[in-house]
Structure formats: structure tokens, C-alpha cells
Amino acid sequence: MTKLSLLAGQINIPAMTTAEERDAHLRIVTAKLHQQLTAKPHDLVVLPELSTVDYSRAAFAELSVLAEDLDGPSIKAFGTLAKEHNTTIVFGMPRKAEDHFKISQVAVGPDGSVIGYYDKLHICQYGASMEKEYFEKGDHLFSFSVKGVKVAPIICYDIRIPELNRTLALQHGVDLILHSGAYARDESFFSWHDFVVTRALENQIFFLSLNRAGENFGNSTFCPPWTDENTPRVSFPQTDEHFASIELDTATLDQVREDYTFRKDLLKDYAGLQHQEPELLNQ
């Protein structure tokens, strides 16, 4: 059995259009995390999608100054913090990639260096989202291990594509999905938690779904691999900034997968099954 302590930050992110404002925000966030980690060490720290910048047209119009390379101020700030507290930090930022921009989750390890990064595969363009006007989609998956727990980041809209989550869980052995978002309270907000519970239960994995704080955001949640009336998911405040300390262990995964044999009962091939049409039954 492996135990993992997770610190999830539903953080406030102010409006910004300059690098100076971004860096001031970074100083505030890292100071808050330093306080949390000093009070209680954690193995893994997670922040929301684009946690270094505002989610707005005003900010996206200034990506030429707000976006960063993998050796920029955000990497240095979170890398320094990770090294000081011997932890792994996963955070979101707009990433410069040749002549375009990506929505990225970056992981920095206990030595302060970049472990790897994931670029959002599914770019959202409905409701309050306008990402296709500013960003390009990613082209790879990314997973890593913390204390023997295999972890993979995905980003916001990615949760609504079941094939991605299924591939991470079944083909890559991921135990914990870190789903970081910027869920505004548009027409898709109500259905968000239904997807969280479904992805956790159908794949029998831990699932953190982390939003930013604020009047138009909030309501992050953490879902274990099984929920019922005795085992609820963890609910964050509706809008307020909040740092949640969550303990999870692989024994829970093992027990759920033994009790509910979804994975064992999977057929090897569904595409190859014969499909009967009603008219064929009458011939």
C-alpha cells in the first residue's frame, strides 16, 4: 500500500495584462503555498488551469508577454518552492511553442527541475471559452509517479472526451488524474461534476477536478474511485479561495477494483462484435 498526501489550491487569480502583474501574482501564490507546506508537508501540490494568468480575452491578447518558455519566471518560482519543501508541484501556464501558444500543465519535481508537461489536447470554443482564437492543441500524453502513485494531468474540456481518460487509466496505468480547469459558470457548468464522478467510477481511479476561485468559478471537487452514501466526494467552497489537504492510498484502488470488477469484465474487443440491425432479424 502506498499513501500520498495531496495539496490542491483553488486559488484567486487577478486580472492582468503585463508580465509585472503576472510575477506579482506568482509571488502571492508561492507565499501562500509556502505557508501551507510549512504547516503540513505534502507529496504533491496542484494548481488550476492557466494558474499563472487571468482567463480572459484581455489577458489572452497579451500572450506575447504573459506566456513563457520552460525556463521562465513561473518555472523558477515553483521550482524553487518545490525544492525548498521537497515536493512535486503541478501548475498551469500559457506556454510559448515556436510561433504559437499552448495551454500547459507543468510538473516540477523535488529537485526544482521540470519533470515534464502536458499541453491541452482538446481546445474549447463554447460557452465562456474562446481558446481556439489564441491557442493550439497539444500532441502528447504525459504521466509520472509520485511515491509509487502514477499521476497524469488533463485540462478542463479534456474531461468530456472519455477516450482520453480511458487510455490513461487502462493503457498507461494511471491511478490519479489531475484535472485542472477554468470552469466559468456558463451553460456547461452544471454538468461538470457529473463528468467527474463518471470518469472516476468508470475507470476506477482517483480524480481531482480543480477550478480557480472567484465569483464566476469555484466548486472544485475530488472524487475517489467509488462513491456512495457513505463515501462522498470532497467538495470545495462555492467561490472562495481554498487549499484542500487530501490523503489517498493505493489500497483503496485495490479494494474497489476487487469489489467491483468493471476492469476484469471488459471484453477485449467491442468494435469487432457483430452488429444486428432489426431488419436482419426478420429475414
Lowest mean pLDDT among 26-40, 119-133, 141-155: 119-133
Crossing angle for the helix pair 73-85 and 19-39, nearest 10 degrees? 10
Nearest residue to 144 via CA among 120, 184, 177: 177
Four-point Cα dihedral 198, 202, 205, 207, nearest 10: -10
> Residue 127's pLDDT band (boundaries 50, 70, 90)?
confident
Average pLDDT over the chain, rounded to whole? 96
- What is the predicted pLDDT for the residue at 84? 98
The arithmetic mean of pLDDT across residues 180-201, rounded, is 95
- Give dist(CA 142, CA 104) in Å, integer: 11
- What is the predicted pLDDT for the residue at 126? 86
- pLDDT exceeds 70 at position 283: no
- pLDDT exceeds 80 at position 220: yes
> Residue 44's pLDDT band (boundaries 50, 70, 90)?
very high
CB 198 within 8 A of CB 177: no
- What is the predicted pLDDT for the residue at 280? 55
pTM above 0.75, yes or no: yes
- What is the predicted pLDDT for the residue at 276? 84
- What is the predicted pLDDT for the residue at 26? 98
- pLDDT exceeds 60 at position 62: yes
How is 140-195 classified by DSSP, letter by letter?
----EEETTEEEEEEEGGGGG-HHHHHIIIIIS--SEEEEE----SSTTTTTHHHH
CB 174 within 8 A of CB 267: no
